[in-house]
Amino acid sequence: MKTVNTVVIGAGPGGYVCAIRLAQLGVDTLVVEKNNWGGVCLNVGCIPSKALISAATKFSDLVSPKKSGLNDMGISFGGDVELDMGKLQAWKEGIVGRLTGGIAQLLEKNGAQMMVGEAKINGVGSITVTTAKGKEKIKCENIVIATGSTPIEIPGFSYKDPRIMDSTKALALQELPKRTVVIGGGYIGLELGTVLSKLGSEVTIVEMGDQLLPGFDPDVVRVLARNLKKAKVPVMLKSRALGWEENGDCAGVTVETPKGEKSLDADAILVTVGRFPNTSGFGLEKLNVVMDGRFIKIDKQGKTSVPGIYAIGDVAGNPMLAHKASHEAEVAAEVIAGHKVQNEAKTVPAVVFTNPEVATAGLQEHEAKAEGYEIKVGKVPFAAIGRALTTGHTDGFIKVVLDASDDRVLGVTICGSHASDLISEAALAVEMDASALDIGLTIHPHPTLGEGVMEAAKAALGEAIHILN
């Protein structure tokens, strides 16, 4: 029987980060992963999807130089632009391989033990790992549950059917479907739907709610809806997919809309209606931990209701984001090592890699109002930012929301080019309780997109220079 101080179950962005930090802190650590180092994010999620988004954008720009603005810059070319899905997938897998291989090396170099196998919890302080060589029992003082999440499957749309795709199958397509119906207008549906559209598939998005990206600023949704319309991607709101059947050489998807039932032809159906935390199948029930709905309930140190049992990442609650999992992982590792720390993060920034990108930190305008704040809002369009004009990407805006009582930054919403890169300044501002003047009086380099954050902060105070106050 092997004995270690801490076993981490799962090697995603929560599990592998926790294991590395534990090892760095001198804690004898074993991390168990049944599939791939890096988990969903690196293998079939964050990284491969962003690789395909980048490739799809480049392809779309070349296919339609007029729409992309290349013609306006004097750039034109003749001849056909071809897409080789096989080479695209190989390129994507090369990126994934480099990153996942790097994780294994980091775990090893930092002194963490690794096992490829399926972990089953026997009870507090004991697990059994089934590997290719058989079963091995492990005795430990602590268990960190980092088992992630799985795409939700809806009735009538089984992922076992070749026509039905979850995000994993969509990211591994070897042939581009001519027509794709995307069920779910959240961030995964919009990201992958945009990729397929840019590569040449005829995409239709079906969303049950009354807006795309439920929970996001309506100003953001308007920009995205306008761009989807330009890209000729129909969006069906307040609509529900009832089922599908084979219809000749394609599928017929029955959709219930406010105007009655409608049938959509599709060669592939992508279901992106959310994810379930992976809390079954590995013996969690034997621990009798307190749950919070489908999630494992934890405190600010990652501790569950059972001493010696920790949970991090998707299994421990929303938002189900890789960077949130990594932060919780480091906190739990520090606690296990005996350090007096806890998770005091004020915000978990979120990014949607659509066209254009969307990013938020802190409260959005409608959220701040819902919480009862009297607010000031500064909003700067990308079209007023010199650097945006030089790149040809002028869609969107930067919005800064302040507490009117003290001009403290409550939140920032960015919808536009490179929003994913710009949001970190906003997250820092929220985290440190910065005021609008802290941002406004910080000299930002020119010409950059970051100037827009400075200008929006000043606009909230009525002191903007490059837009009318």
Amino acid at the residue 66: K
Residue among 412, 425, 406, 420 nearest 456 (CA)? 412
Partners of 126 in the β-ladder: 123, 139
Contact 190, 212 (CB under 8 A): yes
Contact 315, 291 (CB under 8 A): no
Whether residue 151 is preceded by a cis peptide bond, meaning omega within 30 degrees of 0, is no
Q: How far is the C-alpha of 269 from the C-alpha of 276, rounded, in Å?
A: 20
Q: How far, in Å, are 68, 242, 271, 459, 465 from residue 46 at the CA level? A: 25, 29, 17, 34, 38
Beta strands 240-247; 250-257: pairing state:
antiparallel
Taking the CA atoms of the chain, what radius of gyration do you get in angstroms?
24
Active site annotation includes 446: yes
Angle formed at CA 257 by CA 254 and CA 260, multiple of 5 degrees = 85
Range 420-456 burial, b when 16+ CB lie within 10 A, else e = bebbebbbbbbbeebbbebbbeeebeeebbbbbbbbb
- Reduce the secondary structure of 127-175 to three states and give it as a string: EEEEECCEEEEEEEEEEEECCCEEECCCCCCCCCCCCEECHHHHCCCCC
Instruction: List CB contacts of 222: < 8 A, sequence separation 6 or more.
Output: none
Partners of 402 in the β-ladder: 376, 409
Q: How far is the C-alpha of 75 from the C-alpha of 86, rounded, in Å?
A: 28
Whether residue 381 is preceded by a cis peptide bond, meaning omega within 30 degrees of 0, is no
Q: Of residues 339, 366, 444, 446, which has the active-site annotation?
A: 446
Partners of 435 in the β-ladder: 408
Cα dihedral value 288, 290, 293, 294, nearest 10: -50
Q: 436 in the Ramachandran plot: left (φ > 0), alpha (ψ -120 to 50) or beta?
A: alpha
The 10 Å Cβ neighbour count of residue 77 is 9
Q: Which residues are catalytic?
A: 446
